[in-house]
Amino acid sequence: MAESFNQSNVGFDAVIDKKKSIIYGVILGIISFILGLVVLFVVKDLNSFWGVMSMSFIVNTGIFVVISALFAFSLRKSNGGYWNFSIALKSIFMMLAISTIISTIGTQLYVNFINPTLQEKVVTHTINVTIEYMEKNNVPDEVIDSKIAELEKQVDAIGKITLGQVFKGLAITLMFQFVFALLLSALTKREKLVIKQETN
């Protein structure tokens, strides 16, 4: 009798823990919403150009990625510690999609109805910090003017965002989240090893 080891398709006996994916999605969405507000409130008073430019990436992206990865491993654990790529992708993307929808809706409600002046303060402050940085570094006037024009368009657009634009932005964000889900699925994939018994 010979024994051979094969890697089984865990999809046959594992199912998506939808409840946990939803719960983690809600938690992640709330965290993302709060992080976004923290960035806005900090940036509007931050006088460092590089601080303003990197704040969103460090707080929003960096912390979000770390927490998402931790939640992804926790989701795998709730599936018995094993799952294939397909189940990982479905579970993780469900979590990320829910979090994106919650954070997007929450942010839009806050900046449009609760504190409508916040975005304008942030963009105006960003313009001033950018101009000051460019002038200190002897950036050509035409480059400065171009950057100012670009930022002023953002000021003009504040408060004029339509529902269609919100959905368009949400769809684009979900596409990026799908790519992120692919990466997390590849990182967390772990399939069971089974022993096949063969009789000679």
User: What's the pLDDT at 196?
Assistant: 55
Residue tagged 């000679």 (tokens): 200
Residue-by-residue pLDDT tens, the chain, 200 positions? 444 444 444 444 456 789 999 999 999 999 999 999 999 999 999 989 899 889 888 888 999 999 999 999 999 998 889 999 999 999 999 999 999 999 999 999 999 889 989 988 888 888 889 889 998 998 898 888 888 888 778 777 776 777 888 889 999 999 999 999 999 999 999 987 655 555 55
2 bridge partner residues: 198
User: What's the pLDDT at 151?
Assistant: 79
Distances (CA, A) of 112 to 13, 86, 116, 154, 163: 47, 38, 5, 15, 12
Phi, psi angle pair for 14, to nearest 5°: -115, 150
